[in-house]
Amino acid sequence: TRGGGGGGADITILYSHANAEDLGNIYPWCKFLSKTLRVNVFAYDYTGYGLASSEEPTEEDCYADIDAAYRYIRQVLGVPARNIVLYGRSLGSGPSCYLAARTADESGESTKEKSQDSNAGSGSDKKETEPVGGIILHAPFASVYRVVVETGCTLPGDKFPNIDFAQFIRSPLMLIHGTEDKIVPHEHSEQLLAAVNPNHRALPLFIEGMGHNNVHPLIRPLFVDRIGQFLREKVRGKIAGNDSSGKGVGWSTDVADLVARGCVASPIAMPHPLGHPPRMITAADQ
């Protein structure tokens, strides 16, 4: 259908990458997701990354960048909000949570302070109030300060307060995290899950023995199978008008069992970071 942005796919994933990545080295992964899940993938670089690396990255620029990408998908490609799924990995969970909250919160209070700079000069005062079709957070953090300091509140100067945005999210949310993540402990995903309205919690994927960067290359079959299940049950059901939004509970999978069943794939080959302009990978490209 045209609803997904072309290529015969009904879903467009807006992909926000991790910190030590750019469009050059995530391209093979995005292409794999597009081919395997039969979705379109729109990826972009943050200001300060890739070809825009001459500038210093900031939190506000990250919000402005995803705002610009989302406007392009909605206004130029003509993709309905319900056909868009936000995917944020690690650092990318910040702009993804921000956008999910901003598009869903009718009052605008959830992201009012954070978004005023990113929306400046956008050429449109129209408020987005239709929630996106879904959001996938892979190894997300509750906030930047909470990665290094245990605190029950958002401290002054904290960055990417995902935990504060979470309460405003009105889209199905899937969390993916390795239980042995030493960079962003998986407890951050548990905190985010608890902060989200129960009606919007999808079945999370917490994987025993996995770390921060080895989940998607090492257990790729399970990884894409669970994402496919999420898209099928939580997103495509709504697109078709058949909402199967049953509540899920956490579960984990032992990596040794995956090895025994032959489910472990070889790591994906990543080229040297090149830095490419934003691009759309459609299902028709495969």
- In the chain the first and final C-alpha atoms are separated, in Å, by 16
Give the DSSP H/E element, type plus range, for residue 281: strand 279-281
Give the DSSP H/E element, type plus range, for residue 16: strand 12-16
Quote the CA–CA distance of 164 and 63 in Å, as a whole number. 15
Catalytic choice (138, 186, 200, 212):
212
Quote the CA–CA distance of 140 and 212 in Å, as a whole number. 10
Structure token pair of residue 159? 């960055």
Catalytic choice (22, 158, 181, 189):
181
Strand pairing class (252-254; 205-208):
parallel
Query: Does 67 qualify as catalytic in the annotation?
Result: no
3-state secondary structure 167-208: CCCCCCEEEEEECCCCCCCCHHHHHHHHHCCHHHECCCEEEE
Catalytic choice (16, 34, 90, 171):
90
Long-range contacts: 263-267, Cβ < 8 Å, 24+?
A: 263/219, 263/221, 263/222, 264/218, 264/219, 265/217, 265/218, 265/219, 265/220, 265/221, 266/217, 267/214, 267/217, 267/218
Query: Does 45 qualify as catalytic in the annotation?
Result: no
Give the DSSP H/E element, type plus range, for residue 85: strand 84-89
Structure token pair of residue 92? 């990318």
**Closest C-alpha to 234, from 215, 247, 252:** 247
Catalytic residue numbers, as ranges:
90, 181, 212
